[in-house]
Structure formats: structure tokens, C-alpha cells
Structure 1
Amino acid sequence: MIVVTGATGNVGGNVVRQLLDAGERVRAVTRSPDTARLPRGVEVVRGDLAEPSTLTGAFDGAERIFLFPVPSTVDSVAELAKASGVRRVVALSSSAAADQDDNPISVMHRTVERALENSGLDWTFVRPGGFATNTLSWAPSVRAESVVRAPYPDAAANLIHEADIAAVATTALLEDGHVGARYELTGPHSITQAEQVQAIAAALGRDVRFEEQTPEQARRTMVEYLPAPIADILLSYWAGSVGVPAPVLPTVEQVTGRPARSYPEWAVDHAEDFGAPS
């Protein structure tokens, strides 16, 4: 039995499906089992990582878990997992965990990693950089107007497909030899924001326009759905990425044996989100 927390998320949902494809018994932990829409054959239980008391019994009979990062309760969750017989944890982390500054993203993931390092569990950290799914924030304007409004069209990123993050996590759950690894993950190429919009247009088979915003205009929009410090971190990152190719790592292929999916492939996989017919 393998337990997947954050089982309805972009990465967790893919971990569930990939484990099922591998013939594993899977227990999915979600705050809302009635609306989870998880695949047939999954044992679905209610639990909230922010409230460890709701996880009583969730880890029983499991030796391995996929853990979504919640820093405020990670110590309690790790203790409960260990007491339930769990031996190995594969945690969703971030490349920001390697940074030594005090920005909120780095602090969050370092907190989770340090807690697991001290937990007595065997651990593996999966550290993706930018998620391709972050660009789903463009979907409403693409559907409505065939336009993307964003700053820094020439800012480059190494965006990774969520299915590849899940593939590395799934491999670490299923195979020996990954304990103590910190897997830094990127997509297979550096791609600018303007090129991302071109990839979305190609996936949809219609024109999509990039309309450049000033950083101030972008920030006003971003703080409607992101905490202001996170918006500032993203804007600073984009500003520093203009004209600078993003580093690309071969980790996905090294761990899983197959190349990482490109951003154009991701755009095809998510064409319906941007308004293509189903």
C-alpha cells in the first residue's frame, strides 16, 4: 500500500494514476473525497495535512507515502506516519529549497525538508523548478479573447510538465536506490514567455496574442490571486531572466529512463483548458 497526500493536485493526481498503472494499491488522502474524481480502484480517505488529527488511520498498513509540503504540521505528520509503520517518504519540494535566502518559498520547503531529515524516515526530495501549470493563469483570457497579458515576454524558463514531476516521485516510491536523493528537476528546454504563448496557439490551432504589461500592471493583477510577497518574487525572477537562457537538467530522464516532456507537449495536453474543443 502506498499513500498519496495532495491526491487531487496536479502532481499528486498524476502520482496516483502512475502508481495504479504500475499495479500498486493506492490510498488517496483528500480533504473532499466526495468531489475528488479519482480513478476507480483507488481507496479514497478524508484527511487534511493542515489538521493532523484528521489523518488518524490514513497511513495504517502503508510503508511508503508521497507527501505534499505543509510546513506548519510536517513534524506531526511525519511522527504519525512513522508510528503507523511508514518507512519511506517521497516529498514534493522545490528547487527553491537549495536557496539560502529567506524568501517565503525557500523557507517553506527548507522547513519541510529539515523536518523529514530529522524524522527517522527514509526520504527523497523531488525539487522541481517552474511548473508548466503556472501558465494556466493565462487560460481565462485565452479562452475569452485569445490574448495573454503578462510582463517580460523575453523572460526564459525551464518549465516542467507535472506528469514528469510525478514520474520521478513514482520511481522513487517504487524502486530502491533513491533514499537520501534531492532531485532537482527542469523541463527539457529553455523557453521564453512569448514562445510559451506561441506553443499554446499551436496547440489550439488559432492565433493567440501576447500583450506586454508593465510590471506594475502585472502586479496589480497577480495580487488578486497570489500573496503579494510571492508576486514580487515572481516579478523579480522574470526580470532577471530576460535574455538569460534557463538552465536545463537531465534529471527526469536519468531517474525515469525517458526524456522530459516539452512545453509544447504540455500545451497540447492542456489544450482544453485554454479553450480547444474536447
Structure 2
Amino acid sequence: MTILVTGATANIGRKVVDHLLGLGVTDIRALTANPRKAALPAEVQVAEGNPRRPDTLAKVFDGVDRMYLAPNSDTTADLLARARAAGVRHVVDLSGEPESWWGTVSTAVEDSGLAWTHLWPADFMENSLTWSDQIRSTGTVREPRPDAASAPIAMDDIAAVAATALLDDTHFGRSYPLAGPEILTRTDLVRALATALGRDIAFAPSTREETIAALTPAMGETATWYVDNALTSFGESTDALPIGSVHDITGRPATTFAQWALDNVAGFR
């Protein structure tokens, strides 16, 4: 049974490869646009191709039974049609609820005729790295809503869920909203980072424009979208956040933000 991992050198896809190896999978095909720079483990079969250019995927799906699909709204339908024609049976996708900006991926997957499992993570712990520039230069984080809350999840935990779902047919037809193990406000996150870094970090409530300006050095043009979309979603219906989801699916504890911060201090220095 060959498992194809798309986006195999991206943040989550690379971790999916590692988790599959850790679970004893020996037939992994990793899709990357640049095999020479992939630096994947020797036991992984590296395939060259670009999901945004389905015409480059002629032989990528040969012998593949199931696949992890990194989000890509532009060419998902074409890619999945090729996968189904080649005999792929099951796709685990990283996407979002139908009404979200990644909902087109979920819809295309369900329309493909393949068995599917949706992974719908919310706030990534790694998003806090967008604060790194202002923490280094000013020691202050600027955002509009200090008490806005979410349950951020580590990308490694998302990858662990993906690997688990790829290996177990009981996950067919399931949509999994994913969250970290605890609900935290924006100031809670800053406090955890300050502890991990061993320094004071202030939180300065800021206007939309001030927040965009503070995030632009780290995020570029994406800062405006992030402020107007991601940040505005925090604090809504936190009682319903699936804080036990990672443990329920994988059987292992989810990463706390405090631990993630300790493991990633280099990104903020």
C-alpha cells in the first residue's frame, strides 16, 4: 500500500512523512517540486511534481492507494480526478468547513468520488511566529483584542492526526475540526512566550491599521488578510472548540502552547 504525501516539504506535509515513518509505514511517496532540495529520509520515495500544475503528475499516482492532500484550491478537482483514475482509494485533506476560505477544497474532495477524511484545524500555534519581528525589535505585541481566545494547535499534532487517519479506514467520511488542548487568550500566548524566552513582552491593544503595520515586516501583503479574517474569528463560540480532538484521534496528548513555545524559542530571537 503506497501512501502519497503532497506538499511533502511544506510545514505539515513534511511532518506527515515523519509520523508515517514512526508508525512503521515503509511505502511512502513524497511529492515535491524540487527533489534535489527535499532532504527527505532515504527510505522515502521522492516524486517530482507540482500540484498546482497537474500536468506534471503523470506517474505520481501509479500504485498509490491513499494520499494526504495539502490545501490548494486552484487545481484540486483536476488533481483528484487524476488520482481517482489511477486507482487512489482514500484522501485525507487539510482544508476547512465549506463556508471557510478552504471550503472549496473540502467540496472538491467530496465531489471526487474518493473516500475522504477532512481535517479542519483552526488557529496554528505557528501563527504566533508572525509576532517574532516586533518581539525582537520592540518587546511588544500589537493586536486589537487582548482577550480574544482560541485553542491553537501545533502543526506536528495535525500531522499526527493525518498519519493516523491515513492508516485506518474507520476515519472514512469523517470531518474532524481540530484544536489544541486548551483555550488561550492573546495575552495568555504572549505570557507563555515571555516565560519561554525569559524576557518581558508587553501586549499593546492596537487599531486595525497599527496591527497591520506591526505584522507587515513578518507577513508582507498577507498581514491585511490575516488581521481582517483570522484575527476576527478568535473569541467566537470557544465553548465548542474541540480541545480533546488530537488525543481522541491519535491516543497521544496534544502539545501545549507552553511546550511549543519552549521548543521554538529560536524563532523569536
Q: Give the structure-1-normalised TM-score.
A: 0.87
Q: Say which of 69, 74, 86 aligns to 1:84.
A: 86
Per-residue deviation at 1:227?
A: 6.7
Q: CA deviation at 1:151?
A: 2.6
- 98 and 186 in structure 1: CA distance in 2 versus 1, 3 angstrom threshold: farther
- Aligned partner letter, 2:233: Y
Matched, 1:169 2:162: yes
Q: 1:39 offset after TM fit, Å?
A: 3.1
**1:23 and 2:24 correspond:** yes
Unaligned runs of 5+ in 1: 100-105
Is the 1:132–1:159 contact (alpha carbons within 8 Å) kept by the matching residues of 2? yes
- CA contact 1:158–1:247 (8 Å) conserved in 2: no
Shift of residue 246, structure 1, vs aligned partner: 5.8
What is the aligned residue count?
A: 263
Question: Where in structure 2 are the equivalents of 1:115-264 lying within 5 Å?
Answer: 115-222=108-215, 224-226=220-222, 228-238=224-234, 241=235, 245=238, 247-249=240-242, 250-264=244-258
RMSD: 2.1
User: 1:46 matched to which residue of 2?
Assistant: 48
Give unmatched runs, 5+ long, in structure 2: none
2:57 matched residue in structure 1? 55
Question: Are the structure 2 counterparts of residues 266 and 50 from structure 1 closer, same or farther at C-alpha, using a change threshold of 3 Å?
Answer: same
TM-score w.r.t. length of structure 2: 0.89
Distance in 2, Cα, partners of 1:180 & 1:233: 28
AA matched with 2:229: I
8 A Cα contact 1:27 1:43, kept in partner: yes
Structure-2 residue corresponding to 1:103: none
Sequence identity of aligned pairs in percent?
Answer: 41
Task: List per-residue Cα deviations over 1:158-212 (Å, max 9, x = no partner).
Answer: 1011111111111110112000000111111111111111111222223223233
SS at match of 2:169: coil
1:272 aligned partner, one-letter code: A
Deviation at 1:155, TM superposition (A): 1.3
| Contact preservation (8 Å) 1:128, 1:185 | yes
Residue 229 of structure 1 deviates from its aligned partner by 4.4
The answer for the alignment partner of 1:13 in structure 2 is 14
